[in-house]
Amino acid sequence: MLDTAKLDKIKNNFFQGSLDYTKNQPDFFLPHKYKPISPSIVHGFLDDFKTSLGSDKNILIYIHLPFCFSECVFCNSFPHKTDKQQQELYFNCIIKEIELFTQAGLFDGKNIKSIYFGGGTPTSFSNDKLKAIINKIKESMDVIKDASITTEAHPLTLKNSDRIKGLFEIGINRVSIGCQTFDPEILKICRRSHSKEGIKKIITTLNDLGMLSNIDMMAGLPGQTIESMKLDMEILEEIKPAAVEYIRHEIVNPIAIEIYKKNPKLLVKDEELFEMVYTMQNWMQEQGYEQNGYFTKKKFWEYRYHWLKELPIIAFGSRARSYSKSMSYDKHEDIPIYTKLIQKNIPPIGRYTVLSKSDQMYRMLFLRLQIKKGLSLTKFKERFNEKGEDVFQGLLKNLEEFECIQTVDNHIRLTEYGAFFVEDVCDFIMDYALKLESKELKRNPHSLGSTSSRLDIK
């Protein structure tokens, strides 16, 4: 039964409404700490990064393919327009980049546990190109048997079942499809055109091939209502994807901002957004889907689970971010710079940060709270020689007052409603950590983030 007193605490104290929400998860990100790196010292930097991988045996690989033919209003990844020539050049660079990082010894003695193709729309590249990248990874590194290999996909690229069979044949075993909604009116506003029947056909083909499927959905889209969301959920129950990821619409796209300026009524009011988030989380729980705040080992999204457990990520492609437990670096975002450096045999790293002890502590808490089990205080003490309860005292006191976290079996974990509003808990932690450094600092995620000032219609 709905506990309105508990929900009100969240709503009144730190729920981020439509305009103020910033997509922070999954990772803890302090942009002001990244420093530019000169190409002349990049090889030395990679030696340090290799050392920072330490005894971690398993690694995750991310391949960033930032091209897309669509212009979705909800997009927050700002891909480049598909272009045959540019994509050919970019593909060659990815292959070369894998060679450069392999030569730097980053994968010596390591196992690749999971591979993820993200974008953009990775399936705007042909199956042959994706196959060549997978083969290059397999030639260069030890990929474990049955490694989870996922690609994100726009539904229109999977209209033909042979395309999906091709993905299966090249070793991809999980496909994540961006739908966001099935409501035709909202799809029109968002510049999308997929249908329930089309998605159903894709899921059936994936199921028949024994591949895992995920459907990305959104709450808070322009003009969306609770009724429309509930109809979406009925469709999902009929289609039965293996996994569903429901996230909140983050208003960062200039096209979206223009739409809301012209028609402010399309903006979902905070009160309704709160109900939407509650409704979708409750539904996810009833359906048994794994969700932010509930990730577990036994379910389907291995890549995200291991990320939250702090397995190192080595990312290829422009802008992509890599992590060890104590260091992080970004590639150059500008594709001409990225390609030029690769052509000169220079790993195209643009900026980096060395995580301080405090950064590492906050990152560990931030990531583990998105796992059902939470943060082990024993493991925290072993790693940092400090008690988590003491380090996070002020922060935990706030979150406990809001009944979002609890300590169970020596683990700090989210309460049921804390997990429902995990995105707000993460925003709260990020704000708290930034304020410890300076009152001037503001949340600013990878995708630049939404701020009310960008959308002057409060």
Where do runs of H (alpha helix) occur along 386-456? 388-391, 393-401, 416-420, 422-437
Burial class (CB in 10 A: 0-12, 13-18, 19+), 244: buried
DSSP state of 428: H
Contact flag: residue 178 with ligand SF4 (CB under 6 A): yes
CB 410 within 8 A of CB 2: no
Contact flag: residue 79 with ligand SF4 (CB under 6 A): yes
Nearer to ligand SF4, 121 or 291 (CB): 121
CB 458 within 8 A of CB 18: no
Contact flag: residue 121 with ligand SF4 (CB under 6 A): yes
Of residues 419-438, which lie at the interface with ligand SF4 (CB under 6 A)?
Answer: none
Structure tokens at 437: 């450094």
Contact flag: residue 293 with ligand SF4 (CB under 6 A): no
38-46, 71-79, 110-118, 420-428 -> range binding ligand SF4 (CB under 6 A):
71-79
DSSP H or E segment with residue 260:
helix 254-262
Beta-carbon contacts of residue 308 (< 8 Å; ≥ 6 apart)? 26, 295, 367, 368, 370, 371
Contact flag: residue 176 with ligand SF4 (CB under 6 A): no
Contact flag: residue 241 with ligand SF4 (CB under 6 A): no
Contact flag: residue 70 with ligand SF4 (CB under 6 A): yes
Least distance (Å) from ligand SF4 to the CB of residue 71?
A: 6
Contact flag: residue 120 with ligand SF4 (CB under 6 A): yes
Contact flag: residue 25 with ligand SF4 (CB under 6 A): no
Measure the CA–CA gap between 68 and 78, rounded to whole angstroms: 9
CB 211 within 8 A of CB 173: yes
Contact flag: residue 77 with ligand SF4 (CB under 6 A): yes
Nearer to ligand SF4, 120 or 388 (CB): 120
114-122, 140-148, 429-437, 448-456 -> range binding ligand SF4 (CB under 6 A):
114-122
Contact flag: residue 137 with ligand SF4 (CB under 6 A): no
Nearer to ligand SF4, 153 or 355 (CB): 153
Contact flag: residue 253 with ligand SF4 (CB under 6 A): no
Nearer to ligand SF4, 116 or 420 (CB): 116
Buried-state track 204-234, b at ≥16 Cβ within 10 A, e below 16: ebbeeeebbbbbbbbbbbbbbebebbeebbe
Placement of tokens 């983050």 in the chain: 250
Structure tokens at 411: 């683990």
The binder of ligand SF4 chosen from 68, 187, 311, 364 (CB under 6 A):
68
Least distance (Å) from ligand SF4 to the CB of residue 121?
A: 5
Structure tokens at 82: 């598909």
74-82, 103-111, 159-167, 233-241 -> range binding ligand SF4 (CB under 6 A):
74-82
Helix (H, G, I), strand (E, B) or coil at 127: helix
Which amino acid is located at 300 in the chain?
F
Burial class (CB in 10 A: 0-12, 13-18, 19+), 260: buried
Give me the residues paired with residue 321 across strands: 330
The binder of ligand SF4 chosen from 50, 100, 115, 119 (CB under 6 A):
119
Contact flag: residue 154 with ligand SF4 (CB under 6 A): yes
The binder of ligand SF4 chosen from 72, 158, 206, 217 (CB under 6 A):
72
Contact flag: residue 118 with ligand SF4 (CB under 6 A): no
Residues listed for the chain: 458
Footprint of ligand SF4 (CB under 6 A): 68, 70-72, 75, 77, 79, 119-121, 154, 178
